[in-house]
Amino acid sequence: MANTIKISKAKNLIFKKLSFLYLVFILFLFLSSPGKFLDHYENLVPAQEVVLEKLRTQLEELPEGDSKSQNLKAQTLSSLQKLEEIRTGYYDYRNTNHIAGEKLKENLFATNEIIQGSYGTRFQETLENFNQAYLEFGGSDLSAELLSPKDFADQEIQARDFFFKETPNAVIESVINHLETVILIHSIEALKGEKIELLKQEVSEADQLDLIQNFKKTLSKGEKLLFKVRLPDSIQNLKVLINGKDLAPFQVDSGFQHFEYLPEAPGNYVVDLYLDEERFFHNFKVTKPGIKLNRQGSSYLSQVGETQILQLNPQYLPEGDLSFVSEHADLSYENGLLKITPYNPGAFDVFMKLDDKKVDSLSLYAKDVNTIDVALMDIAGKENGLNQLAYLEASNPFWQVVNFKLRIKSPGGRDQVFHNATRFLRSELKEAILRAPEGSIMAFENIKVIGKNGHSYRDGRAILKMK
């Protein structure tokens, strides 16, 4: 007890407060994390698919066996098909809800469609049916690996929850590929009666090889991948694959083989080049069509009633009947320039439509404007002061004057007040201005303007003139 340090109640309370604030800090740090690590999973998908393609080929090439072998093979193919249906469902969900950027961190598909939806039941049944066929063939029970894996606390969890509870959107496809790989490996090893030896070889990046030229890292949809390979005399054979599919050269000349490839859809792609027994690879990404701004000359901040011009990057725009719509702004588009005039203050969305279907959106913010500049116009539409005054007009054509009050204060101190219910001056107001003596002050005040959308009302800036 001699070495015990006593802490007063006041200090103990301070320590508790500091500990609590530290936990709050960690929580906010976690919530504000950009989640860039999730990009790794989407980049992993092409490599997984190459392995899956090799495993599917091995399964299909296995000779027909007895009824148990045929049943296991059929159940394996059926299980793969069921998992592909979940993948297709995710694709539909991703396209419908425009899953990209920050939305990749969300887990709504896993929660709503798998954990709480019909995909979850089918997923569990698929694993149970495969495990049953595997057992009947003579394999071991895969329940601990597939049906009810254990967590770090050694507690069994149903497969649906283990693989998909709070799983981010970006990870869905990678998890499906993992499960298909597990099923294929167990099935093939059981049918062959031996362990699978996947090809092991040293792989280098294509950038390290000066024989390959013109590789790009990013393509837009509709853009071809073009590259050429120079074959020295020491190289006898060249084989090129993209996502596991053979690609033949379209031209051969002067020791070069020229290749071109038109990607079918946005996503990640892997190019494998086999020079004799040596393998090189290159990754590239095809971006989906969307709204991409040229940073120079474009801003996400606008103002109510003011026309903002956004410069769109034509590289990312899809081909076809393109249009832009918004419920909160007037829009026009021509030659890569999108003109936007917001109706109301606050955040609003602009949707890009291709053949009348929404394919992307852009979020903007409009600042409010308190007062609108107004001018005195003559009958010819020219700003002419009190001379031949005909009507009041807002400087910004988005706004239109709806009513105002005219106060005339003569040098003798007499006040006259007139109310005008339109932007055009009544005859009574014109005559009052003409009769007013020199030196009179004309105050156009309480001016009300309305926006082009017919809903947004603002105050016009008062105008003072001396006769």
Would you say residue 193 has pLDDT above 70?
yes
Would you say residue 206 has pLDDT above 70?
no
Q: Averaged over 26-51, what is the pLDDT?
A: 63
Would you say residue 53 has pLDDT above 60?
yes
Would you say residue 69 has pLDDT above 90?
no
Q: Averaged over 393-403, what is the pLDDT?
A: 91
Weakest mean pLDDT among 33-37, 83-87, 405-409: 33-37
Are 314 and 294 in contact, with CB atoms under 8 Å apart?
no
The closest of 286, 365, 361, 363 to 96, measured between CA atoms, is 361
Q: What is the pTM of this model?
A: 0.42
Q: Averaged over 397-409, what is the pLDDT?
A: 92
Would you say residue 179 has pLDDT above 60?
yes
pLDDT in tens, 222-245: 778 888 887 777 777 888 888 888
Task: Tell the CATH topology of 301-367.
Answer: Immunoglobulin-like (2.60.40)
The closest of 446, 386, 437 to 413, measured between CA atoms, is 437
pLDDT at 17: 62
Would you say residue 211 has pLDDT above 80?
no
Would you say residue 203 has pLDDT above 50?
no
User: Among the ranges 189-198, 362-371, 439-448, which has the highest mean pLDDT value?
Assistant: 439-448
Higher pLDDT, 270 or 202: 270
Same fold, 203-287 and 301-367: yes
pLDDT at 421: 92
Residue 337 pLDDT level (bands cut at 50, 70, 90) = confident
The amino acid at 46 = P
pLDDT at 419: 94
pLDDT at 198: 58
Would you say residue 401 has pLDDT above 90?
yes
**Alpha carbon distance 241, 226 (integer Å):** 14
User: Tell me: domain 203-287, CATH 2.60.40.10, correct?
Assistant: yes
Instruction: Write the DSSP assignment of 103-140 as a string of letters.
Output: GGG--HIIIIIIISSHHHHHHHHHHHHHHHHHHHHT--
Which of 356-384 are b and which e, b meaning 16 or more Cβ less than 10 Å from the residue's Cβ?
eeebbebebebeebeebebbbbeeeeeee
**Alpha carbon distance 410, 436 (integer Å):** 7
pLDDT in tens, 147-164: 888 777 778 888 888 888
- Average pLDDT taken over every residue of the chain: 80
Would you say residue 36 has pLDDT above 70?
no
% of the chain beyond a pLDDT of 90: 9
Would you say residue 62 has pLDDT above 60?
yes
pLDDT in tens, 112-156: 888 888 888 888 888 888 888 888 887 678 888 878 887 777 788
Q: Taking the domains of the chain in order of start, what are their residue ranges?
A: 34-192, 203-287, 301-367, 371-466
Higher pLDDT, 297 or 361: 361
